Amino acid sequence: MRISIITATYNSEKTIKDTLLSIERQSHNDIEYIIIDGGSTDRTIHLINRLSTRVSKIISEPDKGIYDALNKGINAATGEVVGFLHSDDFFAYDDVLKNIVEEFESKNCDAIYGDLEYVSQYNVEKCLRVWKSGIFSRHKLMLGWMPPHPSFYMKRSCYIKYGCFSLDYNIAADYNSILRYLFKNEVVLSYMPRVLIKMRVGGLSNRSVRTMAKKSLEDIRIMKNNGIPWPLAIVCKNLSKIPQFFRRNYHAKN
Protein backbone atom coordinates (compact mmCIF):
# COMPACT_ATOMS: atom_id res chain seq x y z
CA MET A 1 0.00 0.00 0.00
CA ARG A 2 1.43 3.35 -1.02
CA ILE A 3 1.09 6.17 1.50
CA SER A 4 1.34 9.78 0.35
CA ILE A 5 2.82 11.99 3.07
CA ILE A 6 2.38 15.73 2.63
CA THR A 7 4.52 18.33 4.39
CA ALA A 8 3.59 22.01 4.11
CA THR A 9 6.52 24.35 4.72
CA TYR A 10 7.32 28.02 4.84
CA ASN A 11 10.66 29.22 6.23
CA SER A 12 10.93 26.05 8.30
CA GLU A 13 14.72 25.68 8.48
CA LYS A 14 14.71 25.60 12.32
CA THR A 15 12.47 22.52 12.61
CA ILE A 16 12.28 20.64 9.32
CA LYS A 17 15.44 18.60 9.91
CA ASP A 18 13.64 16.36 12.45
CA THR A 19 10.69 16.02 10.08
CA LEU A 20 12.88 14.92 7.18
CA LEU A 21 14.99 12.50 9.23
CA SER A 22 11.89 10.84 10.71
CA ILE A 23 10.67 10.17 7.16
CA GLU A 24 14.11 8.79 6.25
CA ARG A 25 13.94 6.32 9.15
CA GLN A 26 10.49 4.91 8.35
CA SER A 27 10.62 1.16 7.68
CA HIS A 28 7.71 1.21 5.23
CA ASN A 29 9.11 1.34 1.71
CA ASP A 30 6.22 2.53 -0.46
CA ILE A 31 6.11 6.20 0.51
CA GLU A 32 5.28 9.09 -1.79
CA TYR A 33 6.67 12.14 0.00
CA ILE A 34 5.31 15.48 -1.26
CA ILE A 35 6.54 18.83 0.03
CA ILE A 36 4.46 21.94 -0.61
CA ASP A 37 6.57 25.01 0.10
CA GLY A 38 5.07 28.48 0.22
CA GLY A 39 8.09 30.11 -1.38
CA SER A 40 10.54 29.97 1.53
CA THR A 41 13.30 32.58 1.62
CA ASP A 42 15.47 30.79 4.20
CA ARG A 43 17.39 27.47 3.91
CA THR A 44 14.32 25.22 3.94
CA ILE A 45 14.69 23.99 0.34
CA HIS A 46 18.46 23.60 0.78
CA LEU A 47 17.93 21.35 3.81
CA ILE A 48 15.31 19.29 1.98
CA ASN A 49 17.68 18.68 -0.91
CA ARG A 50 20.59 17.88 1.41
CA LEU A 51 18.86 15.66 3.99
CA SER A 52 16.05 13.83 2.21
CA THR A 53 16.33 10.91 -0.19
CA ARG A 54 12.62 10.11 -0.10
CA VAL A 55 11.09 13.29 -1.52
CA SER A 56 8.99 12.46 -4.57
CA LYS A 57 7.86 15.96 -5.45
CA ILE A 58 8.49 19.55 -4.31
CA ILE A 59 6.09 22.34 -5.22
CA SER A 60 7.49 25.71 -4.18
CA GLU A 61 5.26 28.70 -4.86
CA PRO A 62 3.19 31.26 -2.94
CA ASP A 63 -0.03 29.91 -1.45
CA LYS A 64 -3.05 31.08 0.55
CA GLY A 65 -1.97 29.44 3.79
CA ILE A 66 -1.44 25.97 5.19
CA TYR A 67 -4.80 24.54 4.11
CA ASP A 68 -4.30 25.71 0.55
CA ALA A 69 -0.89 24.01 0.64
CA LEU A 70 -2.37 20.76 1.99
CA ASN A 71 -5.05 20.82 -0.72
CA LYS A 72 -2.29 21.13 -3.34
CA GLY A 73 -0.62 18.12 -1.78
CA ILE A 74 -3.79 16.02 -1.86
CA ASN A 75 -4.35 16.92 -5.49
CA ALA A 76 -0.77 15.93 -6.33
CA ALA A 77 -0.89 12.66 -4.38
CA THR A 78 -1.18 9.26 -6.03
CA GLY A 79 -1.04 7.02 -2.94
CA GLU A 80 -3.98 5.00 -1.71
CA VAL A 81 -3.73 6.67 1.70
CA VAL A 82 -2.93 10.32 2.51
CA GLY A 83 -1.41 11.66 5.72
CA PHE A 84 0.19 14.93 6.83
CA LEU A 85 3.51 15.50 8.57
CA HIS A 86 3.87 19.18 9.32
CA SER A 87 7.28 20.83 9.24
CA ASP A 88 7.50 21.04 13.04
CA ASP A 89 6.26 17.44 13.58
CA PHE A 90 7.95 14.05 13.36
CA PHE A 91 7.02 10.38 13.66
CA ALA A 92 7.12 8.90 17.15
CA TYR A 93 8.95 5.74 16.06
CA ASP A 94 10.34 4.12 12.92
CA ASP A 95 7.48 1.70 12.20
CA VAL A 96 4.61 4.22 12.30
CA LEU A 97 3.76 3.97 8.60
CA LYS A 98 4.27 0.20 8.58
CA ASN A 99 1.79 -0.11 11.46
CA ILE A 100 -0.69 2.24 9.74
CA VAL A 101 -0.62 0.09 6.61
CA GLU A 102 -1.18 -3.03 8.73
CA GLU A 103 -4.16 -1.33 10.38
CA PHE A 104 -5.75 -0.42 7.05
CA GLU A 105 -5.22 -3.93 5.72
CA SER A 106 -6.52 -5.74 8.80
CA LYS A 107 -9.50 -3.49 9.65
CA ASN A 108 -10.73 -2.67 6.12
CA CYS A 109 -11.42 0.91 7.21
CA ASP A 110 -11.51 4.26 5.40
CA ALA A 111 -9.38 6.13 7.92
CA ILE A 112 -7.28 5.58 11.02
CA TYR A 113 -6.11 7.86 13.80
CA GLY A 114 -3.89 7.57 16.86
CA ASP A 115 -2.52 9.68 19.69
CA LEU A 116 -0.32 12.78 19.67
CA GLU A 117 2.47 13.92 21.96
CA TYR A 118 3.30 17.61 22.38
CA VAL A 119 7.00 18.27 22.97
CA SER A 120 9.01 21.33 23.85
CA GLN A 121 9.83 23.62 20.96
CA TYR A 122 13.48 23.66 22.03
CA ASN A 123 13.90 20.14 23.48
CA VAL A 124 11.97 17.45 21.61
CA GLU A 125 12.85 14.90 24.31
CA LYS A 126 10.70 16.82 26.79
CA CYS A 127 7.05 15.75 26.70
CA LEU A 128 4.64 18.52 27.71
CA ARG A 129 1.28 16.83 27.16
CA VAL A 130 -0.29 13.85 25.42
CA TRP A 131 -3.52 13.89 23.42
CA LYS A 132 -4.94 10.42 23.98
CA SER A 133 -7.79 10.21 21.49
CA GLY A 134 -9.85 7.29 22.75
CA ILE A 135 -12.24 5.14 20.75
CA PHE A 136 -14.52 7.02 18.37
CA SER A 137 -18.25 7.35 18.79
CA ARG A 138 -20.54 9.67 16.86
CA HIS A 139 -21.92 11.01 20.15
CA LYS A 140 -18.46 12.37 21.03
CA LEU A 141 -18.60 14.64 17.99
CA MET A 142 -21.61 16.34 19.56
CA LEU A 143 -19.35 17.16 22.53
CA GLY A 144 -16.58 18.75 20.47
CA TRP A 145 -14.42 15.63 20.12
CA MET A 146 -12.04 15.19 17.23
CA PRO A 147 -8.93 13.04 16.70
CA PRO A 148 -5.59 14.85 16.54
CA HIS A 149 -5.37 15.78 12.89
CA PRO A 150 -1.63 15.05 12.47
CA SER A 151 -2.39 11.43 13.39
CA PHE A 152 -5.32 11.16 10.95
CA TYR A 153 -4.75 9.06 7.80
CA MET A 154 -7.50 8.60 5.22
CA LYS A 155 -7.87 6.96 1.85
CA ARG A 156 -7.40 9.41 -0.98
CA SER A 157 -10.67 8.20 -2.52
CA CYS A 158 -12.49 9.74 0.47
CA TYR A 159 -10.83 13.12 -0.12
CA ILE A 160 -11.93 12.94 -3.74
CA LYS A 161 -15.46 11.96 -2.74
CA TYR A 162 -16.00 14.29 0.24
CA GLY A 163 -13.68 17.19 -0.55
CA CYS A 164 -10.52 18.73 0.87
CA PHE A 165 -10.03 21.66 3.25
CA SER A 166 -12.24 24.75 3.14
CA LEU A 167 -10.28 27.98 2.80
CA ASP A 168 -13.08 29.77 4.66
CA TYR A 169 -11.21 28.91 7.88
CA ASN A 170 -7.65 30.04 8.64
CA ILE A 171 -6.97 27.92 11.75
CA ALA A 172 -9.70 25.30 12.19
CA ALA A 173 -10.30 23.95 8.68
CA ASP A 174 -9.07 20.57 9.89
CA TYR A 175 -11.90 20.45 12.46
CA ASN A 176 -14.39 21.43 9.77
CA SER A 177 -13.14 18.64 7.52
CA ILE A 178 -13.26 16.06 10.33
CA LEU A 179 -16.94 16.85 10.94
CA ARG A 180 -17.61 16.54 7.21
CA TYR A 181 -15.94 13.13 7.04
CA LEU A 182 -17.09 11.63 10.34
CA PHE A 183 -20.35 13.42 11.23
CA LYS A 184 -21.95 14.06 7.86
CA ASN A 185 -20.58 11.15 5.84
CA GLU A 186 -19.72 8.57 8.53
CA VAL A 187 -16.34 7.50 7.18
CA VAL A 188 -15.36 4.14 8.73
CA LEU A 189 -12.65 4.70 11.37
CA SER A 190 -10.13 2.61 13.25
CA TYR A 191 -8.25 3.80 16.37
CA MET A 192 -4.61 2.93 17.02
CA PRO A 193 -4.07 3.47 20.78
CA ARG A 194 -0.49 4.68 20.61
CA VAL A 195 1.39 7.92 19.97
CA LEU A 196 2.03 8.18 16.24
CA ILE A 197 3.22 11.78 15.95
CA LYS A 198 5.20 14.18 18.10
CA MET A 199 4.46 17.88 17.67
CA ARG A 200 6.40 20.89 18.83
CA VAL A 201 4.33 23.43 20.72
CA GLY A 202 4.06 26.84 19.10
CA GLY A 203 2.28 25.73 15.91
CA LEU A 204 -0.47 27.58 14.08
CA SER A 205 -3.32 26.62 16.43
CA ASN A 206 -1.46 26.91 19.77
CA ARG A 207 0.93 29.79 19.14
CA SER A 208 -0.65 32.28 21.59
CA VAL A 209 -3.74 32.94 23.67
CA ARG A 210 -4.97 35.31 20.96
CA THR A 211 -4.57 32.62 18.30
CA MET A 212 -6.36 30.06 20.47
CA ALA A 213 -9.23 32.52 20.95
CA LYS A 214 -9.49 32.98 17.18
CA LYS A 215 -9.51 29.21 16.78
CA SER A 216 -12.37 28.90 19.28
CA LEU A 217 -14.39 31.44 17.30
CA GLU A 218 -13.82 29.43 14.13
CA ASP A 219 -14.75 26.24 16.02
CA ILE A 220 -18.06 27.81 17.09
CA ARG A 221 -18.85 28.84 13.52
CA ILE A 222 -18.06 25.32 12.32
CA MET A 223 -20.22 23.76 15.03
CA LYS A 224 -23.15 26.00 14.09
CA ASN A 225 -22.77 25.14 10.40
CA ASN A 226 -22.77 21.41 11.18
CA GLY A 227 -25.66 21.37 13.63
CA ILE A 228 -23.48 20.74 16.71
CA PRO A 229 -24.89 22.25 19.97
CA TRP A 230 -21.98 24.68 20.26
CA PRO A 231 -22.31 26.08 23.85
CA LEU A 232 -21.84 22.62 25.35
CA ALA A 233 -19.46 21.41 22.64
CA ILE A 234 -17.03 24.33 22.89
CA VAL A 235 -16.82 23.96 26.68
CA CYS A 236 -16.25 20.19 26.44
CA LYS A 237 -13.73 20.65 23.62
CA ASN A 238 -11.58 22.99 25.71
CA LEU A 239 -11.98 21.11 29.01
CA SER A 240 -10.94 17.86 27.32
CA LYS A 241 -7.43 19.29 26.91
CA ILE A 242 -6.79 19.49 30.66
CA PRO A 243 -6.06 15.73 31.19
CA GLN A 244 -3.45 15.93 28.41
CA PHE A 245 -1.07 17.71 30.78
CA PHE A 246 -1.15 14.79 33.24
CA ARG A 247 -0.02 12.15 30.72
CA ARG A 248 3.65 13.07 30.39
CA ASN A 249 4.78 9.54 31.21
CA TYR A 250 2.66 8.03 28.43
CA HIS A 251 4.98 6.19 26.07
CA ALA A 252 4.82 5.99 22.29
CA LYS A 253 3.82 2.33 22.08
CA ASN A 254 1.21 2.21 24.89
Half-sphere exposure of 189 (CA within 13 A, CB side): 23
Selected residue with higher pLDDT from 207 and 173 = 173
**pLDDT single digits (tens) 43-87:** 999 999 999 999 999 999 999 999 999 999 999 999 999 999 999
Q: How many CB atoms lie within 10 A of CB 156?
A: 18
pLDDT of residue 142: 95
Mean pLDDT across 186-215: 86
Q: 2 pLDDT exceeds 90?
A: yes
**pLDDT single digits (tens) 123-147:** 999 999 999 999 999 999 999 999 9
Whether residue 58 lies inside any domain: the answer is yes
Whether residue 50 lies inside any domain: the answer is yes
Q: 254 pLDDT exceeds 50?
A: no
Whether residue 252 lies inside any domain: the answer is no
pLDDT of residue 202: 77
Percent of the chain with pLDDT over 70: 95
**Structural domain for 19, as ranges:** 3-246
Whether residue 253 lies inside any domain: the answer is no
What CATH number corresponds to the domain at position 114?
A: 3.90.550.10
Whether residue 251 lies inside any domain: the answer is no
Q: How many domains does the chain have?
A: 1
Q: 183 pLDDT exceeds 70?
A: yes
